[in-house]
Amino acid sequence: MEKLKLTVEHTGRELFMQFNPEEYSLNRDNTIASQAIPGLSGPILQFVNGNMQTLDMELLFDTWDTDSLIKQDVRDQINQLVALMEIDKDLHAPPVLRVQWGSLDFRCVLARANQKFQMFADDGRPVRARVSVTFNRFIDAEREAKEVDRQTADFSKVHMVAQGETLSRIASLHYDDPQVWRPIALANALADPRAITVGQQLRVPALPFHDPESGEVVR
């Protein structure tokens, strides 16, 4: 079976695992805010942000079952993996990796490596070990902006109207300027800026905002 491969993205260096993992797990969750609205049977939910996606697996390293009479210290192999957590002198950060195995293709950084040594040579050198690793998905804003299909050219947040809020108050929260409420009104086709209701979800467009009808920049 094809071997699991780690590729250092900026150099192209490849590291193949001696044994494939028996299993792996992908983990992902979102942060969802809830707000109780009087008169409703349950709270209104609002998406806040996506959280870290992780890849967990356990890797086996073994130098005992080799033809060599002098068994190699298994740490020599493990250190090649653990070194991927070190700060790269050119990047000033640990390198971005691609974990590839079959249909799995995960762009990430190595966040955790827990080493457990299980067999030793007569002189005490470890010759077999299991390493539990966690890879954190790596996302950069420029790449995500190109790859994610947004519904509009101007990325928007969603704001749920709370009791007593006005467009000016919402503009102050998101733009730090209560006078910049017109982009919100235009983005939500509000004929009357005062006619907003508790629990209503409003798009809050990024600035500068271009009026879809006139094409002018509106503030």
Task: State pLDDT tens for residues 109-162.
Answer: 999 999 999 999 989 999 999 999 999 999 876 666 555 554 444 456 889 888
Q: Give the mean pLDDT of the chain.
A: 86
| Residues β-bridged to residue 76 | none
What single DSSP character describes residue 88?
B
Q: What is the dihedral of CA 202, 206, 207, 208, to 10 degrees?
A: -100
Which of left, alpha, beta for 67 (phi over 0: left; psi -120 to 50: alpha)? alpha
pLDDT score, position 151 = 46
Dihedral, CA atoms, 165, 171, 173, 174, nearest 10 degrees?
140
Could you please state the CATH topology (level 3) that the domain comprising 5-145 is classified under: Elongation Factor Tu (Ef-tu); domain 3 (2.40.30)
Contact at 8 Å (CB) between 134 and 46?
no
CATH code given to domain 151-218: 3.10.350.10
The domain segmentation of the chain, as residue ranges, is 5-145, 151-218
The Cα–Cα gap between 74 and 63 comes to 6
Q: Which pTM value belongs to this model?
A: 0.65
Tens-digit pLDDT profile for residues 148-177: 554 444 456 889 888 889 999 999 999 989
- Residue with tokens 């629990």, as numbered in its chain: 199
Can you read off the two tokens belonging to residue 46? 């609002």
User: 213 pLDDT band (50/70/90 cuts)?
Assistant: low
